[in-house]
């Protein structure tokens, strides 16, 4: 009886060779744009102390209260697979005193993250994000750099049908005042709220604002708006952000109900929504987090960042399958030719030509078939007769043109391509 095979874990995905080039292409564009904006890459570990996330993302958030993969280490430590990257980047920023190297620090990452959510299209338990964090500036121009960086990357990846939503949620004290008013407004309607919103009422009432439930959305139409609770400075900051966005021709919509799910945000928050991928339509979220660095033990460092979901971005781009292709396939005829084939292959590879050859001692016909399947541009035939006469057939598989060349001239043939 055949042994039962092991399957991957629900909510995780293999990225197969037939699709990996979409990822590589997206990563290449991310690296390119990040460099154009002067951001350097940082790589942080896959797991951290659980405290890092409860102290930053917030105990009452969905992520910390129900989505984290938390486990006890054999020696008793409480660890968590990273559910988001900002907390780790901030931890590393503080731990390595990066603020002492430059007053402004521009960092980016591409990373795998873990959240125990209900798997569905665009929502997985292991997924990938790229993101950027800009440390050290409280000015609206920093918000603009971050938003235009995200926007440029989406443009370069080829996502056009996208809406930028922005809002401002002010300082913590403004939010605390607003929460009291929001709860006062919602209290008489408490029984009409969904179970999820009732749960949030005490713990995280702001999250009720981004409900998808239409009955609740209707109730909220008359709710007080956070903007009225902001300080003059908060309002001026937001005005400048809007002014610069207009100046840069970056289209945006103001969404007074946008609150974002994490505790650490203040002032500007934003989301990029794709108009093409169904219900999991947020492809990027971000915002200002001026007190996070000090809250995690660093010095006061106003900061802003974004994170974009790579699986959802791929869903939003039209992807065409791309076949494999190599520069040269060497057809090997007979055992005595093997050594020549190996030598020839490595010589060409050292000249940066990609080369494959048969490893199954198959017939000429099947080897030519394999060359076709690999979309080889050229084929070389090496057999005992060819070696004896020092005459090798080199065939251009696109044009069908064939040339007879001495072994020492094969290299020249490729050099002259």
What residues line the site for ligand ATP (CB under 6 A)?
84, 115, 117, 122-124, 127, 129, 261, 280, 282-285, 307-309, 311-312
Q: Which is nearer to ligand ATP, 69 or 201 (CB)?
A: 69
Q: Which is nearer to ligand ATP, 286 or 383 (CB)?
A: 286
DSSP codes of every residue in 137-167: --SHHHHHHHHHHHHHHHHHHT--SEEEEEE
Q: Which residue is nearest to ligand ATP (CB)?
A: 309
User: How far apart (Å, rounded) are the C-alpha atoms in residues 253 and 270?
Assistant: 10
- Smallest CA-to-CA distance from 42 within 86, 80, 84, 99 is with 86
Q: Which is nearer to ligand ATP, 127 or 329 (CB)?
A: 127
Q: Which is nearer to ligand ATP, 258 or 410 (CB)?
A: 258
Cα angle: 238, vertex 164, 89; to 5 degrees: 75
> Cβ 311 to ligand ATP, closest distance in Å?
5
> Cβ 157 to ligand ATP, closest distance in Å?
13
> Cβ 230 to ligand ATP, closest distance in Å?
22
> Cβ 72 to ligand ATP, closest distance in Å?
24
> Cβ 286 to ligand ATP, closest distance in Å?
8
Q: Which is nearer to ligand ATP, 258 or 328 (CB)?
A: 258
> Cβ 79 to ligand ATP, closest distance in Å?
20
- Smallest CA-to-CA distance from 380 within 390, 370, 394 is with 394
Q: Which is nearer to ligand ATP, 136 or 261 (CB)?
A: 261
Strands 303-309 and 126-135: antiparallel
- Is residue 126 helix, strand or coil? strand
- Is residue 286 helix, strand or coil? strand
Contacting residues for 141 by C-beta, under 8 A, at least 6 apart: 244
User: How far apart (Å, rounded) are the C-alpha atoms in residues 212 and 215?
Assistant: 9
């Amino acid at each position: 009886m055949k042994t039962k095979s092991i399957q991957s874990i629900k909510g995780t995905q293999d990225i197969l060779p037939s699709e990996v080039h979409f990822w590589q292409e997206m990563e290449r564009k991310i690296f390119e744009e990040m460099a154009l904006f002067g951001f350097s890459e940082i790589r942080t570990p896959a797991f951290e102390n659980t405290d890092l996330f409860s102290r930053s993302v917030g105990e009452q958030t969905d992520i910390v209260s129900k989505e984290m993969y938390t486990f006890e280490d054999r020696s008793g430590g409480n660890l968590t697979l990273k559910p988001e990257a900002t907390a780790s980047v901030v931890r590393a920023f503080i731990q390595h005193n990066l603020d002492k190297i430059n007053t402004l620090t521009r960092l980016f990452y591409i990373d795998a993250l873990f959240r125990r959510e209900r798997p569905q299209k665009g929502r997985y338990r292991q997924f990938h994000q790229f993101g950027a964090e800009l440390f050290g500036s409280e000015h609206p121009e920093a918000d603009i750099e971050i938003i235009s960086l995200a926007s440029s990357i989406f443009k370069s990846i080829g996502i056009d049908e996208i809406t930028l939503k922005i809002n401002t949620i002010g300082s913590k004290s403004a939010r605390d005042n607003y929460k009291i008013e929001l709860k006062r407004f919602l209290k008489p309607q408490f029984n009409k709220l969904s179970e999820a919103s009732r749960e949030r009422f005490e713990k995280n009432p702001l999250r009720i604002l981004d409900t998808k439930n239409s009955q609740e959305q209707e109730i909220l139409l008359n709710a007080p708006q956070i903007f009225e609770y902001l300080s003059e400075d908060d309002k001026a900051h937001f005005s400048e952000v809007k002014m610069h966005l207009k100046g840069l021709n970056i289209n945006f919509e103001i969404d007074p109900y946008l609150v974002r799910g994490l505790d650490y945000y203040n002032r500007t928050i934003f989301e990029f929504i794709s108009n093409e991928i169904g219900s999991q339509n947020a492809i990027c979220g971000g915002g200002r987090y001026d007190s996070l660095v000090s809250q995690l033990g660093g010095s006061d460092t106003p900061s802003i960042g974004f994170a974009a979901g790579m699986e959802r971005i791929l869903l939003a781009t039209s992807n065409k399958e791309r076949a494999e292709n190599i520069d040269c396939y060497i057809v090997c005829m007979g055992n005595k030719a093997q050594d020549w084939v190996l030598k020839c292959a490595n010589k060409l590879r050292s000249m940066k030509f990609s080369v494959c050859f048969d490893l199954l001692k198959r017939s000429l016909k099947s080897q030519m078939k394999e060359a076709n399947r690999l979309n080889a541009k050229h084929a070389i035939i090496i057999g005992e007769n060819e070696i004896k006469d020092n005459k090798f057939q080199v065939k251009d598989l696109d044009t069908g043109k064939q040339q007879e060349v001495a072994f020492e001239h094969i290299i020249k043939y490729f050099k002259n391509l």
